[in-house]
């Protein structure tokens, strides 16, 4: 059973790049990695998904090394509105495991 | 507007009472999910359904029950057997079920407080 581990919290300043890493040592061959963002009292929102190497979209990048035992969500030039909790999800045929989330606080 | 709705947003019940949380989606998604969220615990899967009239237990199904009689609806009943029912409950849906790697769309959540 895949277990995911993330830092509990991170601090940053506006305009900086933020990298949040998720550890998933037991990831299975057919599992994907997905990242979600959640604001207080709301449902999570999809950010990005990947299987290996690097994926980039308009809001973030996802880096996954060859062994796939970890993944890093990269948020370029964060703003105050990026203050939220970020979750990694490992999912596959027999897996659906969310991490406990990383609270990102962006300050002026 | 396409989306997933949960009602009510806040719900209060007395201990020992069963309570049913509503989840409806008009996205034509096959799969639906229920999660429980507690402070510092992330999201934990209660039940999921990949198709009408079929559902599977997640990691913390004890004390909960579900039904999936219609594609668009997946109600969750919190029974009196659930020892610590006070939590934030989230419903989600996706195009395909587990193993399909599809993005999950979440509802706004229901905050249940048992007094």
> What distance in Å separates residue A100's CA from the closest CA in chain B?
4
Residue A92 pLDDT level (bands cut at 50, 70, 90): confident
Write out pLDDT tens, residues A67-82: 999 999 999 999 999 9
| Residue pointed to by tokens 């419903």 | B91
Mean pLDDT of A36-53: 94
Percentage above 90 pLDDT, chain A: 82
Is B41 touching A (CB cutoff 8 A)? yes
In chain A the domains, ranked by start, together with CATH numbers, are: 9-107 (2.60.40.10)
Which pLDDT value is given to residue B100? 56
Residue B97 has pLDDT above 90, yes or no: no
Residue A31 has pLDDT above 60, yes or no: yes
Mutate to test the interface with B, among A84, A96, A97, A99 (most CBs of B within 10 A): A96
Mutate to test the interface with B, among A43, A93, A95 (most CBs of B within 10 A): A43
Which pLDDT value is given to residue B33? 95
Which pLDDT value is given to residue A93? 78
Please return the burial class of B47, using the count of CB atoms within 10 Å of its CB with bins 0-12, 13-18 and 19+: buried
Question: What three-state secondary structure class fits B24?
Answer: strand
Write out pLDDT tens, residues B61-87: 999 999 999 999 999 999 988 889 999
Q: What long-range pairs does B64-68 form, CB within 8 A, spacing at least 24? A: B64/B34, B66/B34, B68/B32
Q: What is the 3-state secondary structure (H, E, C) of chain A?
A: CCCCECCCEEEEECCCCEEEEEECCCCCCCCEEEEEEECCCCCCEEEEEECCEEEECCCCEEEECCCCCEEEEEECCCCHHHCEEEEEEEECCCCEEECCCEEEEEEC
> With contacts defined as CB-CB under 8 Å, which chain A residues touch B101?
32, 34, 49, 91-92
> What distance in Å separates residue B110's CA from the closest CA in chain A?
9
Which of A43, A87, A91 is nearest residue B108 as measured by Cβ atoms? A43
Residue A63 has pLDDT above 90, yes or no: yes
> Nearest chain B Cα to A85, which residue?
B42
Which pLDDT value is given to residue A2? 64
């Amino acid at each position: 059973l895949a277990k995911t581990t993330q830092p509990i919290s991170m601090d940053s300043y506006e305009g900086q790049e933020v990298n949040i890493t998720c550890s998933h040592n037991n990831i299975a061959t057919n599992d994907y990695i997905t990242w979600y963002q959640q604001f207080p009292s709301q449902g999570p929102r999809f950010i990005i998904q990947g299987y290996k190497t690097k994926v980039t979209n308009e809001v973030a990048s996802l880096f996954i090394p060859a062994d796939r035992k970890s993944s890093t969500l990269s948020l370029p030039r964060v703003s105050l509105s990026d203050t939220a909790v970020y979750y990694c999800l490992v999912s596959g045929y027999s897996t659906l495991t969310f991490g406990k989330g990383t609270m990102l606080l962006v300050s002026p | 507007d396409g989306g997933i709705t949960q009602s009510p947003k806040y719900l209060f019940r007395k201990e020992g009472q069963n309570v049913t949380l509503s989840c409806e989606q008009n996205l034509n998604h096959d799969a639906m999910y229920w999660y429980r969220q507690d402070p510092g615990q992330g999201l934990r899967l209660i039940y999921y359904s990949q198709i009408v009239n079929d559902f599977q237990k997640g990691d913390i199904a004890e004390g909960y029950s579900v039904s999936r009689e219609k594609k668009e609806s997946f109600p969750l009943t919190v029974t009196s057997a659930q020892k610590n029912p006070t939590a934030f409950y989230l419903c989600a849906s996706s195009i395909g079920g587990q193993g399909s790697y599809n993005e999950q769309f979440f509802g706004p959540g229901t905050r249940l407080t048992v007094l």
